[in-house]
Chain A
């Protein structure tokens, strides 16, 4: 869940081919690759296929038989009133609420901070390190400390609000919409440094001459930001948007620890529901089907995102 770094996509064909004297060494290469490929096949390729197989069964590990049911698990998800469809789509909707609320904040706030850090200042690397620091803490640490700080009765936040003469009985973790505000706020606090650092690197990659040219044309600060910074940042922005959407769509730990998915199931996310249904309730077939439906939804969103970003450029 908390991937420290999102991997970079390789620069296709970065290496010159057909260099004189380079022979094919297929056997040697696969010997080098073997340890990784064995792990990759057993724990990535095989489960991707095995999961599809599971999803076509009523798969309960506590029962002696796992009967084949074809597409029933999928059909159930799209049949209103079935055992799983209501809860599943509620959890997908919750993940959607979280993603729609957190992604814009996780793009705008880090962009503003990155622009501030990109000025000629002293202590820039110190600020950068401070902003990044919460990200190296695990979601479990983040969850338990904010569960304390935001506790409606005993938490610091409400006490501080009270001392300032503001309402001091805000149900941060136990009622909506406050629970969403808490989950989104904590996530922004936790991960803004990650996006800031990437966007800052993107800003530093923009050609300084472009700013000088814009200044000669009489462009002000806002105009420069709009016509030089934003277009120059587009590839990095696409990357950050994609990574942030994927991370938000996989949200689990914050809800698990801050709100326990409550009140009721109002903040239970899709991943939380799938894990519970498959591994606690032992409905593995249904849970596997849900994970593929979620995957399909995310794939569609990713494609739309890529298309939109490409059209704009």
Chain B
């Protein structure tokens, strides 16, 4: 409203409409389309603004973060918060390495166990197939909280409390990987096996030399999703990791929040460090991540 008034008042020549894309019938953007873009941009702002604000806050001085929260621009711009974290009481870079090791290890375990299992469920006929499959399906509808207490005791009995095993092995028993890969394996043409069998290849060779190479995109997507899932895990590591040097980043953020309370620039710097690998993965594999989520409801 005001913008158009300003335009008509200050400019003598009317705005020349932007060049229409060549080869298309020229169409003036109607009001509904403009509104559509305004609405979508508005939502995008609501999503992005808090994140941008956090990044900027992490580069503020502690004093500015507390006393001038409404000014988004860090003035002076400083990496003081990151330095405090690096030299502080909390071993945040150790947590980073712990998180990285756990997420990589669990992804690797899931890739191996799920691809082998999914191959059997998708490509082999065997006794008890329906029962095994049914059991795995059923667990998807069970709320994870019922495993909390007993798995804690199982992990304790295995001597795994406060070790990387506690945060990698039990979670690798998730049914998701098997489902995800099974769906992909089912779709591969039957001729692969038939030709290989005629050449005398065994099941494992078919799996290893024929099926797995074809499944590379699916395996990569599963690896990314498993990594994200483990990296972001929060409840379970709070209780099974005990010593500060074995902590991972997500529960570590709760520790930072307790330790630095209102020193917000420091806590925000921690949140950013905890988000970097995830955001890198999302940037690289955005399409695969979003597509795999998108298809989950449609195929279901």
Binding site for B on A (CB under 8 A): 1-11, 14-15, 17, 19, 21-26, 28-30, 32-37, 39-40, 42-48, 50-51, 54, 61, 113, 116-117, 119, 121, 125, 127-134, 136-141, 143-149, 151, 154-156, 159-160, 163, 189, 193-194, 197-202, 205, 235-236, 239-240, 246, 249-250, 252-253, 256-257, 270-271, 274-275, 278-279, 284, 287-288, 291-292, 294-295, 298-299, 302
CB<8 Å pairs between A and B, sample of 12: A4-B293, A17-B125, A21-B194, A29-B125, A33-B117, A50-B150, A130-B44, A143-B253, A145-B54, A156-B53, A189-B50, A275-B145
In the complex, chain A residues whose CB is within 8 Å of the CB of B141: 246, 299, 302
Considering the complex, give the chain A residue whose CB is closest to the CB of B294: A201
Residue contact A29 to B124, C-beta cutoff 8 Å:
yes
Neighbouring A residues of B298 by C-beta, 8 Å: 198, 201-202, 205, 236
Is A36 a contact of B289 with CB atoms below 8 Å? Answer: no
Q: Is the interface of B mostly helix, strand, loop or mixed?
A: helix
Tell me whether B149 and A279 are in contact (CB under 8 A).
yes
Let me know if A160 and B70 touch, CB within 8 A. yes
User: Please, how many angstroms separate the alpha-carbon atoms of A44 and B138 in the complex?
Assistant: 11
Taking the closest CB of chain A, its distance from the CB of B25, in whole angstroms, is: 14
- Given contacts A136-B289, A141-B250, could you give 7 more A-B pairs where the C-beta distance is less than 8 Å? A5-B292, A29-B125, A36-B113, A140-B232, A151-B262, A160-B70, A274-B148
CA distance A270 to B173 in the complex (A): 24
Closest 4 pairs between A and B when the two form their complex, measured CB to CB: A138-B232, A47-B150, A29-B126, A36-B117
Q: Is the CB of A137 within 8 A of B275?
A: yes
Residues of A within 8 A of B85 (CB): none
- Nearest Cβ distance between residue A93 and chain B, in whole angstroms? 16
Q: Is the CB of A149 within 8 A of B175?
A: no
Chain A residues near B57 (CB-CB < 8 A): 148
**Residue B20 at the chain A interface, CB threshold 8 Å:** no
The residues of B with any CB-CB pair to A shorter than 8 Å are: 33, 36-37, 39-40, 43-44, 46-48, 50-51, 53-54, 57, 66, 69-70, 112-114, 116-117, 119-122, 124-129, 132-133, 135-137, 139-154, 156, 169-170, 172-173, 175-176, 178-180, 182-183, 186, 190, 194, 203, 207, 225, 228-229, 231-235, 238-239, 249-251, 253-254, 256-257, 262, 264, 267-268, 270-271, 274-275, 278-279, 281-282, 286-287, 289-290, 292-300
B267: nearest residue on chain A (CB-CB)? A144
A155, A163, A295: the one contacting B143 at CB < 8 Å is A295
Among B46, B238, B293, max chain A CB count under 10 A is at B293
Cβ–Cβ contact A148 & B194, under 8 A = no
Q: Are A139 and B153 in contact (CB under 8 A)?
A: no
In the complex, residue of chain A having the shortest beta-carbon distance to the beta carbon of B158: A42
Q: Knowing A8-B296, A36-B113, A50-B153 are in contact, say whether A256-B254 is a contact too (CB < 8 A).
A: yes
B234 lies within 8 A of A145 (CB): no
Chain A residue numbers with a CB within 8 Å of B190 are 19
Query: Could you tell me if B274 and A141 are in contact, using CB atoms closer than 8 angstroms?
Result: yes
* A16 nearest in chain B by CB position: B190
Cα distance, A137 to B54, chains bound together (Å): 13
Determine how close the nearest CB of chain B comes to the CB of A165; give it in whole angstroms: 14
B142–A7 touching, CB < 8 Å: no
CB-defined contacts of A42 to chain B, threshold 8 Å = 154, 173
